[in-house]
A and B are shown apart, each in its own frame.
Chain A
Amino acid sequence: MANWTELLELPVYQLNKADKKALFSTELFKLSQHHYQSCLAYRRIIDAVEPRFFFKENQPPIALAANIFKHHFLSSVEQQNIAKITTSSGTTSAQVSKIALDKENIARQQRVLTKIIKQWLGKKRLPMLIIDHPNVIKDKRSYSARGVGIQGLSLFGYHHTYALNEDMSINEDAITEFFSRYQNEKVFIFGFTFMVWQYFVKALQNLARSYPFKQGILLHSGGWKKLQQQAVSNDIFKQQTKQVLGNIHIHNFYGMVEQTGTVYVECEQGHLHCPVWSDIQIINVANMQELPKGERGVIQVNSLLPTSYPGHAIITEDIGILLGEDDCQCGRKGKYFSVLGRIEQAQVRGCSDTQN
């Protein structure tokens, strides 16, 4: 198994293509071996799909479709070692993804997330405004994707303030208090994209209210489907959000509950960046071949984190495009890409779409 003490010390965005490939091919292969040995269901899949998979060293992993976690409970650890099961939101479908996590895997997700987010927020904890209502993290036994996101990011903040009431109305008193206290300091604002737009930006516009923070960072995530339906682009989102929150930095990030921890944060150029511990490929689903830069395809995410469930290589339900590798103008190394939307007819499953 991987030496995580060493892996965690790697710089988040500095490995070039050759170095990353060398690291990834061996570590992902080790993970394939681990899950093959530890998860019977995974072994059956590999045996059925590619019986000669392990004949050759460092084969790229066979990716599982994301929705397999909706229909099968795949675990690579003993039942009694499962510490938490995280679920996707599953709005339109009764089926939710269930991800089995042991303590080691949970800790690793948190550590990796911390390394990545520090790159954007800095090392110090900041006053934190959460664009959600506090009850979203009340159910301790089983977190929704929204709960996981808020939980995972809350340690970057202090004086956590929830901007919404349980009925999704604006909690003006709470926001006003937060603003009067921290308007001149660097603040951290977090929310799911659709919630930020619908229940915060739009709501504040309707109330003709704004809170022009002097400095701060808004991180948001969770799918654009509902915003695309309203013809809201990333540019419009940024522009109108700044109208109510002042001249803050706004970064979208892409990630999924099946690979919690490794998030892909949008840089100043508007590009999503792979951190050192995960990677993406754009796949032509007609033949499952990898597509070159600039071509639309389905996003496959590969991550070194999953050890307690076989989720190290997953075909998502998202369409994306690889924009380049190692040469983004922001200076970060690694692949950078855009997410264009959901696969047609894919069930709505995005984190932010859980509120109807």
Chain B
Amino acid sequence: MTAIEKLKSAFVTALEISEQEVNDSLSYSEHPAWDSTAHMILIAQLEADFDVMIDIDDIIDMSSFNQAKATLLKYDENLSFE
């Protein structure tokens, strides 16, 4: 599985949405499924799948699918979501 597939899969699992909905325009609180509860589930999923521990400020700032890519890249520079 590529990194982008893994990331999409984490979003699908954590937010309980379809894969079509996971795209670059997906953002926190814009999609009804991505609320504050789902956000913490998503963080736990990303941490498990990418083997990282995300800082408190980064959790707050991770407000979109695109931002999630940027955040994960910060923790693992070998990742690529191209």
Contacts and interface: CB of A to CB of B under 8 A. Distances in A.
Interface of A: 83, 103, 106-107, 110-111, 114, 118, 123, 125, 137, 140, 151, 154-156, 158, 160
A293 to B, nearest CB: 35
B56 A114 contact: yes
Nearest to A152: B36
6 contacts: A110-B60, A125-B53, A155-B43, A158-B44, A158-B47, A160-B44
Contacts of A123: 55-56
Contact of A118 (B36, B38, B47, B56): B56
Contact of B35 (A140, A155, A156, A158): A140
Given A111-B60, A123-B56, A125-B53, A155 B29 contact: no
Interface in B14-54: 29, 35-38, 40, 43-44, 47, 53
A137 B37 CA distance: 7
Given A110-B60, A125-B53, A155 B37 contact: no
Interface of B: 29, 35-38, 40, 43-44, 47, 53, 55-57, 59-60
Given A118-B56, A155-B40, 6 more contacts: A107-B60, A114-B56, A125-B55, A137-B37, A140-B38, A155-B60
A103 B29 contact: yes
B10 to A, nearest CB: 16
B53 A114 contact: no
Interface centre among A83, A106, A114, A155 (most CB of B within 10 A): A155
Given A140-B37, A154-B40, A158-B53, A83 B59 contact: no
The 3 closest A-B pairs by CB, nearest first: A155-B59, A154-B40, A151-B36
A114 B29 contact: no
Nearest to A110: B60
A110 B60 CA distance: 8
Contacts of B36: 106, 151
Contacts of A107: 60
Contacts of A106: 29, 36
A140 B53 CA distance: 25
Contacts of B37: 137, 140, 151
B53 A83 contact: no
Nearest to B47: A158
B44 A155 contact: no
A118 B60 CA distance: 14
